[in-house]
Amino acid sequence: MDKVNEQAQAHSDCCGGHVGTGTVDVVCLMGYAESLPAPLIYRKGWALLGYLALESNRMHSRAALAALFWPTLSETSALTNLRQVLSNLNRYCTERFGPDVLCIQRASVGLLRGQRLLFDIDVLQHAPCDAANLLAEQRIFLDGMEDIADLEFQAWLQTSRQMLELQLISAVERCCDQMIARARWDSAINLASALSHRDPWNEAHAQRMMRAHAGNGSNGGALTAYQRLEAFLRDDLGLDPCQETRRLLQQISALGRGPRVAPVQLSALI
């Protein structure tokens, strides 16, 4: 296991602006920050941290950041505000990450962290099973920060949320597939349930749920998952489940009741 994955072994549990991952705490940007973590005092400082975290390992023009976060002010006033926010953000980052992560230069700013896992958004790439709680709790990137600035920032925020949503779904899908392959049926059922709840019309999610229930020895659970998908598709879209999903149900039903299905049997199914 590489160093990044060693840092993110347990499931995420966001609390008070941070998320615990077993051996290390990472900053939680997915979710609503009811209060800013000390010593941060500016909401725009928190939003700026999220921006720099997502756009990390490169330098950003101070002028561009000032225009993004203070679009209605003159350049001089916006740069003055940015300088004040950066001073406070630098205190936070120095205490939280050390002195060399937030790089502040005369004309540019950047969060230079290399491959260090510092934020909950990092687990989407490096530790997919740690993303499960983020999906189940329906956390949103920089939730509550929509009013920080005008249309340009809001457009960036919307695009970023869409990108992270895709990464989050992909991460939980990978983890669910891992749990099925390892015959960890209860975990697979929980993950498949979270995926199906997020997108009840997605047949791949329903198929994962069916496989997990079958592996757990519950043909009834697999049938219920199929029927739920069928109801959503028919009621909302006027469609039936695809041939692949119907064939999967037939194959699971043919296995009959009794002992739990071995992973090798599941892998032989479509």
User: Do 136 and 250 lie in a common domain?
Assistant: no
Expressed as residue numbers, the domain containing 218 is: 183-268
Q: Report the domain count for the chain.
A: 2
Query: pTM for the complete prediction?
Result: 0.78
Per-residue pLDDT of the chain (270 residues; tens, 9 = 90+): 333 333 333 233 333 343 333 334 789 999 888 899 999 999 999 999 999 999 999 999 999 999 999 999 999 999 999 999 999 999 999 999 999 999 999 999 999 999 899 999 988 878 778 777 788 777 899 999 999 999 999 999 999 999 999 999 999 999 999 999 999 999 999 999 999 998 999 999 999 999 999 999 999 999 999 999 999 999 999 999 999 999 999 999 887 655 555 554 554 555
Query: 28 and 115 share a domain?
Result: yes
Indicate if 27 and 88 belong to the same structural domain: yes
Please report whether residue 178 resides in a domain.
no
Are 128 and 194 in a shared domain? no
Quick check: bond before 39 cis, omega within 30?
yes
